[in-house]
Amino acid sequence: MIDITNASNNATFDVEIVHRAVFATVNAHNLEDYEVSVLLTDDPHMTELNLEYRGIDAPTDVLAFAMREDEDSNLMNPNILGDIVISLETAERQAKNETHSLEEEVAFLTIHGVLHLLGYDHQTEKEVAVMFEKQETILRCLQIDTEKRTISV
């Protein structure tokens, strides 16, 4: 199950790309029964979350809250992967800077978030390479150009 809420100022954003990106990512990992929640929000709300959970008083593009990392995860349904929060305002700025569409940027951020829920990270160069390749593969499945994409440690 994929639950998508658009609480951003961009009420006209079509969330179908979010659904497709989540589905493609979990499908690439052979998961059939899963739950993911995605919240599309604005920069002020994202700043609050980023400050609360990461100690950074600024917006970020995507945050992922994996259920599997919780201490009590053995008490939870293992199919509940977690929650993703995406700032559409930040995504829009990044899309303009990278000269691609907002939909492509949100697809990238959604895939990135789901990969974090599945345990991927990018703290080391090796992790960056693995996560980047997964993202590229899934973006290509969605027929999204991957030439300009980068992630960093």
Question: Domain for residue 149, yes or no?
Answer: no
Helix, strand or coil, per DSSP, at residue 11:
coil
Helix, strand or coil, per DSSP, at residue 3:
strand
The model carries a pTM of: 0.89
pLDDT tens-digit map of 116-143: 999 999 989 999 999 999 999 999 999 9
Question: Domain for residue 89, yes or no?
Answer: yes
- DSSP output for 65-114: EEGGGSTTGGGS-TTEEEEEEEEHHHHHHHHHHHTS-HHHHHHHHHHHHH
* Closest of 129, 143, 126, 122 to residue 21, by C-alpha: 143
pLDDT of residue 153: 45
Question: Domain for residue 133, yes or no?
Answer: yes
Question: Domain for residue 147, yes or no?
Answer: no
Summary count for the chain: helices (H), strands (E): 5, 4
Average pLDDT over the chain, rounded to an integer: 89
Per-residue confidence band for 9, with pLDDT thresholds at 50, 70 and 90 = confident
Question: Domain for residue 51, yes or no?
Answer: yes
pLDDT top residue among 72 and 1: 1
- Angle at which helix 102-117 crosses helix 88-98, to 10 degrees, equals 120
CATH number for the domain including 137?
3.40.390.30
Q: Domain range spanning residue 58? A: 2-141
pLDDT tens-digit map of 30-39: 888 899 999 9
Question: Domain for residue 153, yes or no?
Answer: no
* Closest of 35, 55, 51 to residue 43, by C-alpha: 51
pLDDT of residue 72: 52
Domain count, the chain: 1
pLDDT tens-digit map of 37-82: 999 999 999 999 999 999 999 999 999 999 865 555 554 566 889 9
Question: Domain for residue 72, yes or no?
Answer: yes
